[in-house]
């Protein structure tokens, strides 16, 4: 399976972001804490090159905390303002606001020198699909101003949102990039749900996911599904199908159904807190 998903609305969105970038003071890039490297879009990196940069490792509630902490330090050492977040929690806004204040300092001083007072800081929220950009904006706004959903491609156009008097946020659609340098990047993006499931073989994807979890978090599959972690992951998928009563007519295990279950449970953090990108 070779994953590639770059529908027309993403080309359009990228163009819109390029046109708006000159208005922007700070780019907040949101990545998925389970794959902080694979979920960074090189096109966004280029666009944001000479802006102040905040990097938020969102969905940290689903990732391996020790690994996430290492990533936070890694990105700090590269000059980013960094936080790990769970955007669905209520208390996250305060620490993010503090970071935004820090990142805005220079701009406000520059404005004052030119006699400009109280011009709002303009922030672009950018990232790949489904990482929680709109959820994050709602948490800052303290209410549901942006539409969210548990599949990629929910936000389709741009939306400016005012946060208090001093901040204007630009919500943008999640964008991927035309060609992944490495096949593994596409696969990890598919695993976390940033690629449209309709173009994927979920069976194949779930077998690869079982492989990774077995290798990195040995024992988790056994504990969760009460099956032996045998070497053949396809056979393991069959065993899980049987355990979960996914049986086709004629008594064959329904591996497609089991694949759906595993992907859903991984994406929801039900099997455990896993990080797929690791720092050596
Ligand atoms: N567990 C967990 N789920 C989250 C978190 N943030 C967002 N979500 C969920 O992730 C899904 C996607 O959130 P959205 O805010 O719609 O993501 P988005 O980045 O705006 O997605 P697009 O508009 O499609 O690019 C939703 O089901 C959210 O409830 C988080 O920190 N932890
Ligand atoms: Mg959105």
Give residue 2's pLDDT: 77
Question: Ligand 1 — pocket residues by CB below 6 A?
Answer: 58-59, 61-62, 85-88, 127, 129-135, 148-150, 152-155, 173-174
Separation of 148 CA from ligand 2 center, angstroms?
A: 6
Candidate from 92, 130, 156 with most ligand 1 atoms within 8 A of CB, to mutate: 130
pLDDT of residue 57: 98
> Is the pTM higher than 0.85?
yes
The domains found in the chain, sorted by start residue, are 8-171 (3.40.50.300), 201-267 (1.10.1580.10)
pLDDT at position 41, please?
A: 97
> Reduced to 3 DSSP states, what percent helix, strand and coil does the chain have, rounded to the nearest 5?
45, 15, 40
What pLDDT does 199 receive?
84
> Could you tell me the two tokens for 268?
């929801």
Q: In Å, how far are 38, 63, 75, 83, 197 from 276, measured between CA atoms?
A: 9, 8, 17, 19, 19
Each residue of 23-54: pLDDT tens digit? 999 999 999 999 999 999 999 999 999 899 99
pLDDT for the residue 120:
94
Q: Which residues of the chain have pLDDT under 70?
A: none
Quick one: which atom of ligand 1 is closest to the CA of 86? 31
């Amino acid at each position: 399976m070779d994953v590639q998903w770059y529908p027309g609305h993403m080309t359009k969105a990228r163009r819109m972001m390029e046109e708006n970038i000159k208005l922007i003071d700070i780019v907040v890039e949101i990545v998925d804490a389970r794959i902080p490297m694979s979920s960074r879009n090189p096109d966004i990196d280029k666009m944001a090159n000479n802006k102040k940069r905040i990097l938020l490792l969102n969905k940290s509630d689903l990732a391996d905390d020790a690994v996430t902490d290492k990533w936070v330090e890694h990105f700090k050492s590269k000059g980013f303002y960094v936080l790990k977040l769970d955007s669905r929690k209520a208390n996250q806004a305060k620490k993010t606001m503090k970071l935004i204040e820090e990142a805005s300092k220079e701009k406000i001083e520059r404005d004052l020198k030119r006699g400009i007072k109280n011009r709002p800081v303009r922030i672009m929220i950018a990232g790949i699909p489904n990482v929680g950009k709109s959820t994050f904006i709602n948490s800052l706004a303290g209410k549901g101003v942006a539409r969210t959903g548990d599949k990629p491609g929910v936000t389709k156009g741009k939306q400016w949102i005012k946060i208090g008097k001093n901040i204007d946020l630009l919500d943008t659609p999640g964008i991927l990039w035309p060609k992944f340098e490495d096949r593994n990047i596409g696969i990890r993006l598919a695993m976390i749900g940033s690629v449209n499931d309709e173009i994927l073989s979920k069976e194949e994807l779930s077998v690869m996911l079982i492989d990774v979890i077995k290798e990195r978090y040995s024992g988790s599959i056994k504990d969760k599904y009460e099956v032996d972690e045998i070497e053949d992951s396809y056979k393991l998928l069959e065993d899980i199908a049987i355990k979960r009563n996914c049986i086709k007519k004629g008594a064959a295990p329904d591996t497609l159904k089991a694949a759906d279950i595993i992907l859903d449970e991984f994406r929801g953090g039900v099997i455990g807190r896993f990080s797929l990108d690791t720092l050596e």
